[in-house]
Structures are given as C-alpha cells and as structure tokens.
Amino acid sequence: MSLIEITDVRKSFGDNEVLKGIDLDVEPGEVIAIIGKSGSGKSTLLRCINGLETISDGSISVGGAQLLDDEAHLKALRLKVGMIFQQFNLFPHLTVGGNVMLSQMVVKKTPKPAAEAMARKMLERVGLDHKFDAYPDELSGGQQQRVAIARALAMQPIALLCDEITSALDPELVAEVLAVVRELAAEGMTLLMVTHEMKFARDVCSRVVFMHQGRVHEIGPPEEVFANPRTPELKQFLGVH
Ligand code: ADP
Ligand code: MG
C-alpha cells in the first residue's frame, strides 16, 4: 500500500471544477515536485491532501486511513500531514521556540517540557537552535521559513507538503531553505512540493508531476519529464520547442 493514495479526486468551487480526476500514489520516502502554470490546481491538490479543503469526489488515503469528509477525519489528517506555505505565518509576539512549541501544546496537548525538547531538536535540525529565544522579526526570511519547517516537523508528520516555500524569499535566501529540504529528503521524509525551482526538482525529486487545467498532464522521473516532454503544454511550460 502506498503512503498517500489519491484516486480520481475532483474538487469544485461552485461550478468551477478545478481538480478533474487526479490519480497519484506516493510511496514512503518519495520526493515529488508538482509543477504547472498558475491556476492549474497545484495548491488545491495539496490543500485536499492536508484536509484543508474537502474533496467533491474520489478518495484520498494517507498512511492507510481513508479520508472522509467529516471534521474529525480532516482534523486527524491535518495532524498526520504537515504543510508549509509561501508565507511563513509565524506569530510575531512569540519567540522562535514558542512558535515551534505552540501547536504541539495546543493541538497535540503535549506537555510543555516535552514540547520544548522537541522544539529544540527540530530547530537544531534546521540549524537554528541558537535562535530559540529570538523573535521572528529578528530573523531573515530564509531563517523564518526554516522555523516554519521546524514547526511542521515538531508535529512528527508522516509526510510534508510544501507550497512554493521559496517564492516569497529574496534570491540569496532560497538556497538555505532548499538545503534543509534536501536534507529532509536524504533522511527519507516523504515530500510533495509545488516548486518553480526546476534545478532542485531535477536533482532531488524522484518524480515530477506536471499539472495542467486540473489534471495530471504528465508524470515521470525528472530526467524524462524535463528532457523529453511529450505534450505541447509541458513543452511550452518549460520553454522548449
Ligand atoms: P495553483 O496553485 O496551481 O496556482 P490553485 O489550486 O490555487 O492553482 O487554483 C486553481 C483554481 O481554483 C483557480 O482557478 C482558483 O481561482 C480556484 N480556487 C482556488 N481556491 C479557491 C477558493 N477557495 N474558492 C474559489 N476558487 C478557488
Ligand atoms: Mg498555488
């Protein structure tokens, strides 16, 4: 059984169907890049996998448990699957350590000492244990995004979804965030990432998914998808002719 099984998933907003039957199975430890034009449904797909959106049809199972559209299941799913966004969304009035401890304590009811120990461990993993007592506005954007990664990891997710996590960063800060992701991948974390970093996708990902108009238009290993795009849509997206 795959870690994540997405079967004929459809999602509509009103009469606008934005996911038109997505099939995708993700194996443990896979790193998948999701690419495609703006509006092709990439974020919606990740939000469905994380239970932030209900699906209109089809099924999603994570870690062997089928996702049902009731609030208890969606909540359980949000606990199992971590998500990181373009905007870091750290609480400005909390320290870095406080940010990484908060959802552990509130959502998982982890006792404070254990939450703090986990926060220190995960901050060390992203190279920021020395910033435990700093406030977010004292950090660079790259450091803030690394804190957001530590915060997601502290919930011990079985997979991590990343939605354009370097898109809001100044170019010189992108590499440090990608280095953290690369390390997570090497450690065996299952990752689904919407990204514009094609070189990164080529180097790190096991498969690339090209989405077009709410469908998986092409899928394959990066050397295939990038070197031999089959459809005119992907050729156009990659700028090859
Ligand atoms: P991408 O991430 O590939 O740019 P999105 O998944 O954000 O694409 O959006 C796909 C389509 O779904 C777009 O047409 C967008 O306007 C629409 N959409 C996304 N979220 C909502 C929402 N909450 N309500 C209505 N329409 C939405
Ligand atoms: Mg998006």
Residue nearest atom 13 of ligand 1, based on CA coordinates: 39
Parent domain of 56 = 27-238
Nearest protein Cα to ligand 1, atom 19:
44
The closest of 61, 35, 34 to 49, measured between CA atoms, is: 61
pLDDT, tens digit, 9 for 90 and up, residues 180-216: 999 999 999 999 999 999 999 999 999 999 999 999 9
Q: Examine the predicted complex and report whether its ipTM is higher than 0.85.
A: yes
pLDDT digits (tens, 9 = 90+) for 90-127: 999 999 999 999 999 999 999 999 999 999 999 999 99
Q: How many domains does the chain have?
A: 1
Q: What interhelical angle do 141-153 and 112-125 show, nearest 10?
A: 130
Q: How distant is the alpha carbon of residue 155 from its chain centre?
A: 14
Cβ < 6 Å from ligand 1: which residues? 13, 18, 36, 38-44
The confidence score (pLDDT) of residue 95 equals: 98
Minimum-distance ligand 1 atom for the alpha carbon of 163: 2
What is each CA distance from 76 to 79, 158, 234, in whole angstroms?
A: 5, 12, 36
Q: Calculate how far, in angstroms, residue 20's C-alpha sits from the geometric centre of ligand 1.
A: 13
pLDDT average, residue stretch 54-72: 81
Whether residue 68 has pLDDT greater than 70: no
Judge whether 12 lies within some domain: no
What own/partner pairs with CB < 8 Å and gap ≥ 24 does 171-176 have? 173/140, 173/141, 173/142, 173/145, 174/142, 176/142, 176/143, 176/146
What is the spatial distance between Cα 74 and Cα 76, in angstroms, rounded to a whole number?
5
**Is residue 20 domain-resident?**
no
The CATH number given to whatever domain includes residue 185 is 3.40.50.300
Residue 155 maps to a domain: yes
Residue 11 falls within a domain, yes or no? no
Which pLDDT score, from 0 to 100, does residue 67 have? 65
Name the closest-CA residue to atom 15, ligand 1. Answer: 39
